[in-house]
Amino acid sequence: DDDFLFQDDLIEDITSSDEMEAETNSSKISQKKRGLNSEMPLNLAVFHFQTPVFCPLNSLVIGSRLDTDIHANTCRLAFSGRLIEKIDPKKDVSRFKFYSRKEKEGVICRLGESYMREKDQKVVRYEVFGVDLFKKETNMNLFVGLKVETSSGDIGVIHSSFGTSGKFRMHFPAGTDAREGDKVYLRFKRYANDTSKSMHQDTVLPEASPGVLLVPEKKSKKEKKKNTKKKNDKNAKQDPKTTLGTVAHEGVIASLKPNNIVIVSGFFSPEVNIREKVGWKVVVPNTNEEGVISAPFGKAGKCKVLFEEGISAEEGSKVQLVPPAD
């Protein structure tokens, strides 16, 4: 009544695949129970004979490649093993639970509120949103409660659907530092004789790790416009290399993009040719993270900034522009 991973081929080396680690470990235990002290993983096979064959238990079975050229200088042995149990194909086959591994891949498209996790003071999210894991017409009720895993190994659970376009909401009890654009995986087992085609998982959710909500300071639209104008008037400085527009030394992270890209506003007026500023250094004072301007973004003076080593700053964080020395 054990579970058996369905294989297309025999596993010849226990180090050949990380995905077989769990099955390899269980195989080693089975080998020790049977007195077999070998590094070869134990492969089990079910044989169906068209005619009755006399084969006492513990008999040695040798399989040959009879279709191999007899004149070829190759080994014709295909496999060998001991008979460990006899079964009635009409009654006992159902006792063997053969399963296949399945995996679906999605993408994180939106992040929930930021929290400061109490145990390590790390900024995490307990709720994130995903896409591309399900089709628009998929019945999400079949997947609610299933565990998912980020590319960094954080374990969460599908909480509900989000909208009507196939997006979904995930909850991570211990938090996750995943970013927009990161992959998320749904892994499960499906048994061969299961007519309901249920999805089975052995993944265990981690214990909840509470955190403190980081509430960004909200300002009215009028106050934002007023403060932005004051900052631009105070910090604006005519760029000697630009005949039109102004360049300020302070800006704000307007949004976060995948691949360590952020959108920054406040550095340039719309008249500035930002392409001439590609390569200028940008610094986040609160985290001491450094990036460089990689391209303009839109026509309102915003620009793309690449942080090659990653960025932990949030939307709304202040950034500083460091022009090259003359």
What integer is the mean pLDDT of 245-255? Answer: 86
> How large a percentage of the chain has pLDDT more than 70?
78
DSSP β-ladder status, 97-111 and 183-191: antiparallel
* 148 or 221: which leads in pLDDT: 148
Comparing 147-151, 177-181, 224-228, 244-248, the range with the smallest average pLDDT is 224-228
pTM above 0.75, yes or no: no
Distances (CA, A) of 4 to 9, 23, 101, 147, 186: 14, 8, 11, 22, 20
How many residues comprise the chain?
A: 326
Report, as an integer, the average pLDDT of 263-281. 90
Report which listed range, 3-7, 180-184, 212-216, 257-261, is most confident: 180-184
Question: Which among 16, 17, 8, 14 has a CA at the least distance from the CA of 27?
Answer: 14
3-class SS of residue 276? helix
Side-chain half-sphere exposure of 174, counting CA atoms within 13 A? 12
DSSP assignment of 215-263: -PPP--HHHHHHHHHHHHHHHEE--TT-SSS-EESEEEEEEEETTTEEE
Between 320 and 237, whose confidence is greater? 320
Using the 8-state DSSP alphabet, how is residue 142 labeled? G
**Average pLDDT of 24-47?**
52
Report yes or no: 282 and 264 within 8 Å, Cβ to Cβ.
Answer: yes
Joined tokens for residue 294: 């990689």
Residue 168's contacts (CB-CB under 8 Å, 6 or more residues apart) are 106, 129, 130, 131, 133, 134, 140, 143, 158, 159, 160, 161, 162
Kindly report the average pLDDT of the chain as a whole number: 80
The whole-number average pLDDT for the span 251-260 is 89
User: Per residue in 172-181, pLDDT tens?
Assistant: 999 999 999 9
Stretch 129-154: mean pLDDT = 91
CA distance 28 to 38: 8
Using one digit for the tens of pLDDT, what is the confidence trace for 54-81? 888 888 888 888 887 878 888 888 778 8
